[in-house]
Structure 1
Amino acid sequence: MSPTSRPLRKLGFLTIGLFDEADPRRGHESTLEIIELGERLGFDSAWLRHRHLQYGISSPVAVLAAASQRTSRIEFGTAVIPLGWENPLRLAEDLATVDLLSGGRLNPGVSVGPPMHYDRVKEALYPDTADVEDFGYERVRRLLDLVRGKPATDFSGVEGFEVFSDRVQPHSPGLGGRMWYGGGSLASARWAGEHGMNFLTSSVVKAEGSDEVAVDFAQVQLSHIRAFRDRHPDGENARVSQGLVVIPTDSATPEQRAKYEEYAAKRTPRTLSPQGPARLMFAPDLVGTSAEIAERLHAHAAFREVDEVAFALPFTFEHEDYVQILTDIAARLGPALGWRSAA
């Protein structure tokens, strides 16, 4: 291990939970089986992506409620819930409920911004308020306040036979400290730090403050991590999790290795320069043996400053592929990065 890298303390994985429209139950069951496998392999956390009006998990909180009853140790996360689709008060109730059911294992990750294809869904989502909805940081602040137990109303007490609370119920006391912000910009990193959240940084960031085509992804991501910690009350101890796509091939069949390499090759062109008006930068997928991937990660400027990861599983692979990839991560890649299994 490189002397400039932090030993990896927490190892997690992230999945989108794809399913076939003709048999959605099977896809959801596959996701639950993968989470159970993750616990057996010793992973510290399992994270779910969030997809609306697509063939991926639309309700990760509900899926994680099911997962909480089939596991006992592994932590759960969402990476991330786009708050533009949510009512903060109702979401706070759901998050607290699942956190209690899981025994305090939930790590909700959220983000802001208008829902994808907003002009096409706003009539279904906000038929009466579409033009006045606020999709900025204020929506996160409202959620944080409600999760952390601040009053949601000025009324509490007994009315007839009913007893009312002025704050969200149930209340899970530790959940407020396990809220994560998924950010890809300096503004998001700073806001998350200032509001005492944890910070999720993924394989997508914004190239800011430079017109150079050859701007380096790792350096941009590093600047976000440092900006977050500069503003966070915990400073250098503030929690950051990195979510790159890694595909170890140690135990893969020749057919699997060919598929993985083809997948990464198709996605490589987008990693060569900032994309679109937002100048989005994509990290290359890391495919190879665990030793090769570990070497590349130790050379990654941003990876060297984190001790938690949630490696992203590719979207379109089969269940058996995920089993192989997770097994290699837990048995080979994690230890090569200084991680010790919880199994």
Structure 2
Amino acid sequence: MIVGEGMKKIGFLSFGHWSPSPHSQTRSASDALLQSIDLAVAAEEIGVDGAYFRVHHFARQLASPFPLLAAVGARTSRIEIGTGVIDMRYENPLYMTEDAGSADLIAGGRLQLGISRGSPEQVVDGFRHFGYVPAEGSDHAALARDHAALFLRLLEGEGFAEPNPRPMFPNPPGLLRLEPHSPGLRERIWWGAGTRATAEWTAQQGMNLMSSTLLTEDTGVPFHQLQAEQIQRFRDAWKEAGHAREPRVSVSRSIFPILSDADRAYFGHDTHSQDQVGRLEGGLARFGKSYAGEPDRLVAELAEDEAVAAADTLLLTIPNQLGVDYNVHVLDSVLRHLAPELGWR
């Protein structure tokens, strides 16, 4: 057995795509939502630790996450339920606090909310259509951070609103907070960081670190080494900030063990995948490779992935349009054939 860096939580990350294509098993928004719930239930049954969903606006993908999170919470009992990530440029932090508190209480305290500035969207400045405009002299990244800062404060549950002296219903004493309040949710907020500097800022804010298969910078080293440096900088900044609790760190990977002809047909072309460097929003970005191949080969390759070794949580990106059954097969293949050999489980 190849011994890794310790036990890991293993979850899936779905973008929730749908397409009317005859090649898609997910042809409508209804399919995407209902299949997401079914996949979370099935994933819990085979021992997966987390069900995470991407949020995109103006796209044929999952968008407003809280109805879905609440539904998954009501149908499951153990699995962590999260996002990766909610674009805070589009969010009303007060309404989001109520939604998050409600969904977390339904799930019994299992929410793990990934938030961030988000990625390039389908439309130009889509957040403006939602009624949010950066302050004069500011920009959309600052808008996301401002919304996040208010959201984090509200999750603390401190009263801030003056009560009506003649309320319809009796109030508790003092200033009022938003309800329902879910204790502990503030410690289960993650920031999706695309750079090393943003990871340090994340630690200073007391949020967990969520790092995907994309970093919006490049130093010439392999992706996994750059991401491992990002993780170390996060942990150093966390320690320097003096937070009392231990933080969590997740990384995303596309991992496809090839065990059948169907696996080979779908992912055989990824067996020689490599990092890619390109330009994104005017700057260099490095994209991590996919892992596809026979289990023995993947065990050897993943044992060399420094960022996966450094993280406590691994999110497996899934091809949701291939249907629930096939995605359960992919997840089960990782749990059965890779995780034990790598010391993750």
| TM-score interval, smaller chain | 0.7 to 0.9
Q: Distance in 2 between matches of 1:82 and 1:35?
A: 22
Query: Alpha carbons of 1:197 and 1:287: their partners in 2 closer, same or farther (altered >3 Å)?
Result: same
For residue 11 of structure 1, give the secondary structure of its aligned residue in structure 2: strand
Gaps of 5+ in 2: 21-26
Deviates more, 1:287-296 or 1:168-177: 287-296
Q: Is the 8 A contact 1:247 1:325 kept in 2?
A: yes
Deviation at 1:298, TM superposition (A): 1.3
Deviation at 1:331, TM superposition (A): 2.0
Q: Is the 8 A contact 2:196 2:230 kept in 1?
A: yes
Instruction: Choose from 144, 148, 162 the match for 1:140.
Output: 148
- Which amino acid in the other structure matches residue 242 of structure 1? V
Deviation at 1:311, TM superposition (A): 1.4
Query: Alpha carbons of 1:131 and 1:261: their partners in 2 closer, same or farther (altered >3 Å)?
Result: farther
Deviation at 1:122, TM superposition (A): 5.0
- Which amino acid in the other structure matches residue 247 of structure 1? F
Query: Alpha carbons of 1:265 and 1:292: their partners in 2 closer, same or farther (altered >3 Å)?
Result: closer
Q: Is the 8 A contact 1:245 1:314 kept in 2?
A: no
1:58 corresponds to: 63
Q: Is the 8 A contact 1:215 1:273 kept in 2?
A: no
Query: Alpha carbons of 1:301 and 1:23: their partners in 2 closer, same or farther (altered >3 Å)?
Result: closer
Gaps of 5+ in 1: none
Identity of matched residues, %: 28
Deviation at 1:90, TM superposition (A): 0.8
Instruction: Choose from 160, 178, 181 the match for 1:168.
Output: 178
1:179 aligns with 2:185: no
Deviation at 1:146, TM superposition (A): 0.8
Q: Distance in 2 between matches of 1:72 and 1:139?
A: 31
Could you state the TM-score of these two structures normalised by the residue count of structure 1?
0.86
2:43 corresponds to: 38
Deviates more, 1:229-238 or 1:214-223: 229-238
Q: Distance in 2 between matches of 1:206 and 1:300?
A: 19
Deviation at 1:336, TM superposition (A): 2.2
State how many pairs are aligned: 328
1:301 aligns with 2:306: yes
**Any residues of structure 2 matched to 1:293-332 within 5 Å, and which?**
293-314=298-319, 316-332=321-337
2:23 corresponds to: none
Q: Distance in 1 between matches of 2:310 and 2:292?
A: 22
2:24 corresponds to: none
Query: Alpha carbons of 1:122 and 1:305: their partners in 2 closer, same or farther (altered >3 Å)?
Result: closer
Deviation at 1:315, TM superposition (A): 5.5
Q: Distance in 1 between matches of 2:6 and 2:243?
A: 19
Q: Distance in 1 between matches of 2:19 and 2:112?
A: 28
- Which amino acid in the other structure matches residue 150 of structure 1? E
Provide Cα deviations, 1:169-195, integer angstroms capped at 9, x if missing partner. Answer: 111111011111111112210111011
1:249 aligns with 2:251: no
Q: Distance in 2 between matches of 1:317 and 1:97?
A: 31
2:13 corresponds to: 14
Could you state the TM-score of these two structures normalised by the residue count of structure 2?
0.86
1:126 aligns with 2:135: no
Deviation at 1:202, TM superposition (A): 1.1
